[in-house]
Chains A and B, each alone.
Chain A
Amino acid sequence: MAVVEPYIRDPRLLTRLKQQSVSGLALVVAFLIAIPILIVVGFIFVPTGDIWQHLATTVLPNYLLNTVILAVGVSALVLLIGVSCAWFVTMYDFAGRQQFTWALFLPLAMPAYIIAYTYTGMFDYAGPVQSLLREIFGWTRNDYWFPQMRSVGGAALMLGLVLYPYVYLVSRAAFLEQSVAALEVGRTLGRRPFQVFYSIALPLARPAIVAGLALALMETLSDFGTVQYFAVDTFTTGIYRTWLGLGEPAAAAQLAAMLMGFVFLLVILERISRGERKYHHTGGRYQTIRRQKLKGWKSIICSAACFLPVFFGFLLPVGWLLNKSFIYPETVLNREFPSLVFSSISVAFVASVVALIIAMFLVYTKRQDRQQNSFSLRKISVRVAGMGYAIPGPVLAVGIMIPFGFVDNSVDGFMRETFGVSTGLILSGTMFALMFAYVVRFLAVSLNTVEASVEKITPNMERAARTMGVTGIKAIFRVHIPIIFGSILTALLMVFVDVLKELPATLILRPFGFETLAVRAYELASDERLAEAAGPSIAIVAAGIIPVIILSRAIGRSRPGQGSEG
């Protein structure tokens, strides 16, 4: 029997009107956020003449090849590190296991472009490693071969080292969630521990692993800082160059559309691969995982396997950055640094608050629908609004620059014709454009966080509160806010840090003269002033550690039935 909520039966016009305007507003918000996507997709059909032909014969094959190599290399690396480390810390007990459980998240705090600066600083010709080798062996420039950091392979390594936590995170959650009973049954059916991993645990965790891999690949495809710095031509650098270098917005948008095509292909492939199978455990009973205690060389191998990614993905680059900051304290202790920090923090703060407000609004509008049990445009608007995260920064920038430029030109033209006054740029190159980009790109982060926690408030809780006379605003304050408060903070922090790290969209859309930590680090590194880039970089990494702590705490609590024994 369907439960009919009293307010649905409410015939009062005012209530209806209010509800309709709320859905209308939700649609408008979702539409605004969808604009950049629509613009980019729309440009597929705009003729670009010779320039596309030119791109296709000259640079496009190269973009494609590099992007594919990058994607394959990063996939291999993140799967190898992420899945194996997750399996080790979940199923075995070895020296340092507990510390590795959270330490393996740390590279997440390291933006790929920053680790690229540090590795270049360490391993380039003039860096300490090669210098030391030359000193020891008496080599000179052409005597020896050393792997070139600034290559597509180097970029894959950098991205892999900082993106594997996505796969680690989801695989660990999946392994923890699996019914231990299924693994044990597998053993009684004659499978050895590795076979159990291979034939049961891995297939069961596959959708989660693929989802983590998809995230890592999205980040790879949208990476700009690393490939630009390493001079590896990919779609993102191509878009940047076609737009700003060749001054061909339409061609840039078409490149962007191709890139987005890749991203959605990823999402679709993952959906298809699931087929009819269901991956949830079939039973409802959980047992605490009894981790097998490893001794001797097995324990050492596990510890080493978990230590290496943490070392190369976090400890080593952070050590280098700290070292440089101490050697050149003027990179931090200068007059500009405080204002740089201030401007970074202010945009990040404002963007995270705006994203939170919009996310809350959308989630609560959608929630009303769920209670009405209906299919609606509002639900779709929420989905669309959450898609921004899949759009690479440069693509987003293109998708914003084009319509904003159009509005500016139209308004300017109109004003000049009518009043003879030029209004110049109203939207383009303003804080508003930048803020808009941040919100579109990172809304998904706060949307997902808020949505997940609001879903914990079941309709029955609200009904129970109503039977005790707690409704409306009172229910919001006494039931909703206490339950979702932690998630609100999390949503704020996650977006805050994401904005702080954001590089390509900021680089393209920022108002003239406006700088953030990320932009400054990028500019210094581009000028080969790597040591000076250390100051802003270390500040970004320090901020990046905050969500890592939140994540590792959340995942520790997430296993159903934790601690209970069958």
Chain B
Amino acid sequence: MSKLVISNLKHRNGGDFVVQIENLTVNAGEIVCLLGPSGCGKSTTLRLAAGLDQPESGEIYIGDQCVAEKNHFVGAEDRRVGLVFQDYALFPHLTIMGNVTFGLSDETKQKREAIAGPILKRMRLLEDAGKYPHMLSGGEQQRVALARALAPNPRLLLMDEPFSGLDTVLRNFVREETFKILKESKTTVLLVTHDPEEAMRMADRIILMKDGSVIQQGTPAELYSKPVDEFVASFLGSVNRVAATSVDGILETELGQVPHAEARHDIGECEVLIRPEAIRLGPVRGEGEVTAKAIETRSLGPFSLIVLELPSGRRVTARAATVLQPEEGQICSISLDRHQVFLFSDG
């Protein structure tokens, strides 16, 4: 498995939309998720990495081989990359075995099937080898697509929304299974998704894109807890927007004061973003505490969302373990976890 490096890339996708990437690296054996809202250029980036489109400028390296630069372009058929689409794009006229051995065309039939056999076995598809794709379930089809992409031993695996064709229950299962297989085989993966939860579950690192550019790269934890801007913070999880006053080292909000490294006097009146789980609820013990009234609770299973009404009438949403959830109408004391309160001075 090889490393993928994209640098100084620029590509116009018809019309005015431009994808511009200064640096994007996927290390060997790493699973990187390319995350972003639809139309942010993530699929275009994947196509450029696959060699299906030729970039206007910039370089792409797979391992030591330069596959795209000025006056030099290696097409998809010569890149040795695997590709898995959302709709799997299985060849309906070929059996499962035919699909999986499709990329092994240089060898004899026996040899091809000898290579595909263990892969099919690992994917629990060996009994289905003689069937046609439409005879399999959605989850099985997804495994065939994965097996087909992995069979020719690609240097890099590219996946375009590979799980979004599955229903919720199956999706979680297939995702876990795929993750295990990819990690076991130490595959280098660039996976495109619009689902932050999926990205956080799958990725060693996340690359978040917006309007054709990379906004932030890092581990899921970094992106979640240290977003570089409002967009990143709100894309990865829900947030409450609350008015605040910034004084030196401290943010004063209606939900209480929190120390914050970026808080400076000259910022003054501002808005901060607070994750629901940053609002801790407790019983009212005494005077001087910040309190709020729980006016609506909604259980999501292990967690509950609680809509709180502050004394000013302003409403915020908190998240708490269901066992600790207050009654509707109950007055709670609240405090803030300072690590999940975000201030973006430019926003």
Rounded to whole angstroms, the CA-CA distance of A524 and B112 in the bound complex is 65
Q: Which of A281-289, A402-410, A502-510 contacts B (4 or more CB under 8 A)?
A: A281-289
CB within 8 Å for A283 and B93 given contacts A186-B102, A191-B105: no
Chain B residue contacts of A188, Cβ below 8 A: 50-52, 76-77, 79, 81-83, 103, 149, 154, 158
Closest to A283 in B: B87
Contact B87 A285 (CB under 8 A): yes
Least CB distance, A84 to chain B, in whole angstroms:
20
Rounded to whole angstroms, the CA-CA distance of A181 and B89 in the bound complex is 6
Asked if A276 is an interface residue, CB under 8 A from chain B, the answer is yes
Contact A284 B93 (CB under 8 A): no
Chain A residue contacts of B79, Cβ below 8 A: 188
Chain A residue contacts of B158, Cβ below 8 A: 188
Chain B residue contacts of A566, Cβ below 8 A: 43, 86, 160
CB within 8 Å for A184 and B83 given contacts A189-B102, A277-B93: yes
Contact with A along B67-108 (1 / 0, CB 8 A): 000000001111111110111111111000000001101000
CB within 8 Å for A282 and B89 given contacts A184-B83, A188-B76, A191-B105: yes
Contact B89 A185 (CB under 8 A): yes
Most buried by A among B51, B92, B133: B92
Rounded to whole angstroms, the CA-CA distance of A513 and B213 in the bound complex is 78
Rounded to whole angstroms, the CA-CA distance of A293 and B53 in the bound complex is 12
Contact A282 B152 (CB under 8 A): no
Contact B85 A283 (CB under 8 A): yes
Interface residues of B in 268-287 (CB under 8 A from A): none
Interface residues of B in 110-168 (CB under 8 A from A): 132-134, 141, 148-149, 152, 154, 158, 160, 165
Chain B residue contacts of A190, Cβ below 8 A: 77-78, 80, 103, 105, 152
Pick the contact of B148: A189, A192, A278, A284 (CB < 8 A): A189
Contact B77 A283 (CB under 8 A): no
Chain A residue contacts of B75, Cβ below 8 A: 187
Tell me how many residues of A have a C-beta within 8 Å of chain B: 29
Chain B residue contacts of A276, Cβ below 8 A: 132
Asked if A280 is an interface residue, CB under 8 A from chain B, the answer is yes
Contact A184 B76 (CB under 8 A): yes
Contact B87 A181 (CB under 8 A): yes
CB within 8 Å for A282 and B87 given contacts A187-B52, A188-B51, A190-B103: yes
Contact A283 B50 (CB under 8 A): no
Rounded to whole angstroms, the CA-CA distance of A182 and B94 in the bound complex is 12
Closest to B144 in A: A282
Pick the contact of A185: B53, B85, B134, B141 (CB < 8 A): B85
CB within 8 Å for A282 and B85 given contacts A187-B52, A187-B76: no
Contact A184 B89 (CB under 8 A): yes
Contact A200 B91 (CB under 8 A): yes
Chain A residue contacts of B78, Cβ below 8 A: 190
Contact B165 A283 (CB under 8 A): yes
Rounded to whole angstroms, the CA-CA distance of A281 and B90 in the bound complex is 8
Rounded to whole angstroms, the CA-CA distance of A554 and B208 in the bound complex is 42
Contact B77 A192 (CB under 8 A): yes
Chain A residue contacts of B80, Cβ below 8 A: 190
Least CB distance, B45 to chain A, in whole angstroms:
13
Contact A189 B152 (CB under 8 A): yes
Closest to A196 in B: B77
Contact A189 B132 (CB under 8 A): no
Contact A182 B89 (CB under 8 A): yes
Rounded to whole angstroms, the CA-CA distance of A188 and B102 in the bound complex is 11
Contact A179 B148 (CB under 8 A): no
Contact B89 A279 (CB under 8 A): no
Chain A residue contacts of B133, Cβ below 8 A: 278, 282
Contact with A along B37-57 (1 / 0, CB 8 A): 000000100000011110000
Interface residues of B in 16-65 (CB under 8 A from A): 43, 50-53
Least CB distance, B39 to chain A, in whole angstroms:
8
Asked if A204 is an interface residue, CB under 8 A from chain B, the answer is yes
Chain A residue contacts of B91, Cβ below 8 A: 182, 186, 200, 203-204
Contact B52 A282 (CB under 8 A): no
Contact B102 A285 (CB under 8 A): no
Contact A187 B85 (CB under 8 A): no
Rounded to whole angstroms, the CA-CA distance of A128 and B200 in the bound complex is 77
Rounded to whole angstroms, the CA-CA distance of A282 and B50 in the bound complex is 22
Closest to B52 in A: A184
Contact B87 A284 (CB under 8 A): yes
Chain B residue contacts of A182, Cβ below 8 A: 89-91
Rounded to whole angstroms, the CA-CA distance of A278 and B91 in the bound complex is 9
Contact with B along A549-564 (1 / 0, CB 8 A): 0000000000000000
Chain B residue contacts of A290, Cβ below 8 A: 53
Closest to A200 in B: B91
Interface residues of A in 145-193 (CB under 8 A from B): 179, 181-182, 184-192
Rounded to whole angstroms, the CA-CA distance of A25 and B89 in the bound complex is 47
Chain A residue contacts of B132, Cβ below 8 A: 276-278
Rounded to whole angstroms, the CA-CA distance of A188 and B89 in the bound complex is 12
Least CB distance, B126 to chain A, in whole angstroms:
19
Contact with B along A469-486 (1 / 0, CB 8 A): 000000000000000000
Contact with A along B238-272 (1 / 0, CB 8 A): 00000000000000000000000000000000000
Least CB distance, A515 to chain B, in whole angstroms:
51
Chain B residue contacts of A199, Cβ below 8 A: 102
Least CB distance, A283 to chain B, in whole angstroms:
2
Chain A residue contacts of B77, Cβ below 8 A: 187-192
Chain A residue contacts of B50, Cβ below 8 A: 184, 188
Least CB distance, B216 to chain A, in whole angstroms:
24
Chain A residue contacts of B85, Cβ below 8 A: 181, 184-185, 283, 285
Least CB distance, A40 to chain B, in whole angstroms:
37
Rounded to whole angstroms, the CA-CA distance of A185 and B82 in the bound complex is 8
Rounded to whole angstroms, the CA-CA distance of A99 and B173 in the bound complex is 50
Rounded to whole angstroms, the CA-CA distance of A305 and B140 in the bound complex is 43
Contact with B along A344-363 (1 / 0, CB 8 A): 00000000000000000000
Rounded to whole angstroms, the CA-CA distance of A206 and B94 in the bound complex is 13
17 CB contacts below 8 A, A to B, read A187-B52, A187-B75, A189-B103, A190-B78, A190-B152, A192-B77, A199-B102, A206-B93, A278-B132, A282-B92, A282-B133, A282-B134, A283-B85, A283-B87, A283-B88, A285-B86, A290-B53
Residues of A with Cβ closer than 8 Å to B? 179, 181-182, 184-192, 199-200, 203-204, 206, 276-285, 290, 566
With A181-B85, A187-B51, A206-B93 known, 16 other A-B pairs at CB within 8 A are: A181-B87, A184-B76, A184-B89, A186-B102, A187-B75, A188-B77, A190-B77, A277-B93, A278-B132, A278-B134, A281-B89, A281-B92, A282-B88, A283-B87, A285-B86, A566-B43
Closest 5 CB pairs of A and B: A283-B87, A189-B103, A181-B89, A187-B76, A182-B89
